[in-house]
C-alpha cells in the first residue's frame, strides 16, 4: 500500500516538474571566477570565463558580471540589469574593421541532449542594447560543433531570423517554435544577415530556454515556418548516380511538388545543403556536394523560382548523420537536405 502511494505521489510530482531546459548555463551564471565588468580579450578568454559557452569564430564575445556598485559607474560603463541573476553576455552583431569588413560575434553552446527529428521545440532568449536601433538576430542549429577560422559573418543559414527595434536598455524576448530536420546538438546565436551598412551594433543576450514544452498560448498557433519540407515532397527521392550531380527522373518528379509550393507561397525561401560520405577524395567530395545543391538551384530557377529565394551550401563529408563505417551509414550521409524559411 505504501509503495503504491509513493508511486502515485512520484507521478504527480513528475507532472508538475518544470520542463527541462536543454541549454546548460542558460543565464551565464556558471562562471569560473569573479569576472566583473571587463570585456574579453580573446575567444579563449571568453571560454575560460564562462562554462559551456564558446565562440564559434575567431572573435571575442564578452561575458559580464554585474558589479555591486553598478549604478555608481559612469553611464557608458554601466551594465543593463540582467534578466536573471547577475551575469549576461555581449556580442557585436554588426561592425567593420580594416582586417574584416563583415565583423560579427556569436555565442554558441552544445545542448544537453540531441534534438529529435521533427519533434516540436520551443526556444526563447532576451536581448537588449545601450543604443536604440533595429537589430538583426538569428539562431543556427547544427549536428556538430560550429568552429571556423574566420572573424567575419558565418556563412551558415540560420533556421530562425528576426528583427527587433530596441529602445535603450529595454529587454525584448525572442521566441519561436521549430521542428528539427536533422539531429541537432549545437546552437549558435548572432547576426547571420549581410549588413547594408557597417555601423557598430552591440547586443546583450541573456536567459536562454530550449524545451520540448510548448507554451499554451502558442501551442495552437505555430507560424508558417513550422511547415516541414517533408510535408511538401520527399527529399529521400532526390537521387544522384554515384559520384555525379545530374538530376534523375525520380528527383524531377519530387521537385515539381516543391516548385508548386514555392509558386504559391511567395514568402517562402528554400535553403539547399549538399552532403557526401567520406569515401574517396575529400576535395572531390566537397565540390560534388556543392554541385549537387547547385543543380537543384538551377532547376528551380528554370521553373520560374527567383534566384534570391534560393541559397545553397556544400558541406562535403564534414557533417555526417550516421556512421561512415557501414554501407548503410554512408548511404544516409550521401544526401541533399532542405529547409524552409519565411519573410
Domain boundaries of the chain, sorted by first residue: 18-218, 227-342
Per residue in 210-249, pLDDT (tens digit) is 999 888 766 544 444 446 677 788 888 887 877 888 888 8
Task: Work out the average pLDDT over 82-111.
Answer: 90
**How many Å apart are CA 38 and CA 27, to the nearest integer?**
18
CA dist list (Å): 80 to 54, 248, 251, 271, 319: 22, 56, 53, 37, 39
Kindly indicate the confidence band of residue 77, based on its pLDDT and cuts at 50, 70 and 90.
low
* CB-count exposure of residue 59 (10 Å: 0-12, 13-18, 19+): buried
Is 18's pLDDT higher than 70?
no
Give the max Cα distance, the chain. Answer: 75
Q: What average pLDDT does this structure show over 275-282? A: 89
Q: Judge whether residue 265 has pLDDT over 80.
A: yes
Q: What is the mean pLDDT of residues 328-342?
A: 82
CA–CA separation, 338 vs 255, rounded Å? 11
Architecture category of domain 227-342 in CATH:
2-Layer Sandwich (3.30)
Average confidence (pLDDT) over 253-258: 90
What pLDDT is recorded for position 212?
A: 92
Helices (H), the chain: 2-16, 43-49, 216-219, 249-264, 282-302, 327-333
The per-residue pLDDT for 181 is: 78
Residue 218: which residues within 8 A CB-CB, separation 6 or more?
Answer: 122, 175, 177
Whether residue 108 contacts residue 55, with contact meaning beta carbons closer than 8 Å, is answered with yes
We find that the CATH architecture of domain 18-218 is Sandwich (2.60)
Query: Would you give the DSSP letter of residue 110?
Result: E
DSSP-assigned letter for residue 68:
T
Q: Residue 203: pLDDT above 60?
A: yes
Whether 18-218 and 227-342 share one fold: the answer is no
* Confidence band for 50, pLDDT divided at 50, 70 and 90: very high
Are 111 and 188 spatial neighbours (Cβ–Cβ below 8 Å)? no
Beta bridge mates, 335: 275
Q: Where residue 142 falls among pLDDT bands split at 50, 70, 90?
A: very high
Q: Across the chain, what does the average pLDDT equal?
A: 84
> Could you tell me where the beta strands, DSSP code E, fall in 152-277?
160-166, 172-178, 186-190, 201-211, 268-275
Separation CA 283–CA 306 (nearest Å): 30
Amino acid at each position: 500500500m505504501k509503495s503504491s502511494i509513493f508511486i502515485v505521489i512520484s507521478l504527480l510530482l513528475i507532472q508538475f516538474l518544470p520542463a527541462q531546459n536543454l541549454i546548460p548555463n542558460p543565464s551565464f551564471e556558471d562562471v569560473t571566477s569573479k569576472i566583473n565588468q571587463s570585456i574579453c580579450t580573446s575567444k579563449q578568454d571568453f571560454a575560460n570565463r564562462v562554462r559551456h559557452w564558446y565562440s564559434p569564430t575567431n572573435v571575442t564575445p564578452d561575458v559580464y558580471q554585474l558589479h555591486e556598485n553598478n549604478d555608481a559607474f559612469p553611464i557608458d560603463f554601466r551594465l543593463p540589469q540582467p534578466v536573471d541573476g547577475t551575469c549576461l553576455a555581449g556580442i557585436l552583431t554588426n561592425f567593420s574593421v580594416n582586417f574584416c569588413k563583415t565583423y560579427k560575434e556569436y555565442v554558441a553552446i552544445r545542448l544537453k541532449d540531441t534534438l529529435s527529428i521533427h519533434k516540436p521545440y520551443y526556444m526563447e532568449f532576451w536581448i537588449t542594447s545601450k543604443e536604440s536601433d533595429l537589430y538583426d538576430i538569428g539562431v543556427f542549429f547544427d549536428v556538430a560543433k560550429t568552429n571556423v577560422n574566420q572573424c567575419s559573418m558565418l556563412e551558415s543559414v540560420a533556421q530562425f531570423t528576426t528583427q527587433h527595434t530596441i529602445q535603450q536598455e529595454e529587454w525584448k524576448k525572442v521566441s519561436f517554435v521549430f521542428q528539427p530536420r536533422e539531429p541537432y546538438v549545437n546552437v549558435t546565436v548572432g547576426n547571420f544577415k549581410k549588413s547594408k551598412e557597417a555601423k557598430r551594433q552591440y547586443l546583450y543576450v541573456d536567459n536562454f530556454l530550449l524545451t520540448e514544452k510548448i507554451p499554451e498560448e502558442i501551442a495552437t498557433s505555430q507560424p508558417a515556418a513550422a511547415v516541414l519540407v517533408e510535408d511538401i515532397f520527399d527529399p529521400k527521392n532526390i537521387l544522384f548516380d554515384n559520384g555525379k550531380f545530374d538530376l534523375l527522373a525520380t528527383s524531377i518528379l519530387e521537385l515539381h511538388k516543391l516548385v508548386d509550393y514555392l509558386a504559391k507561397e511567395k514568402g517562402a525561401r528554400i535553403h539547399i545543403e549538399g552532403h557526401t560520405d567520406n569515401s574517396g577524395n575529400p576535395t572531390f567530395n566537397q565540390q560534388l556536394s556543392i554541385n549537387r545543391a547547385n543543380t537543384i538551384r538551377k532547376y528551380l530557377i528554370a521553373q520560374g523560382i527567383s534566384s534570391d529565394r534560393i541559397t545553397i551550401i556544400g558541406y562535403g563529408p564534414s557533417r555526417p548523420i550516421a556512421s561512415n563505417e557501414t554501407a548503410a551509414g554512408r548511404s544516409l550521409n550521401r544526401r541533399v537536405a532542405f529547409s524552409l524559411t519565411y519573410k
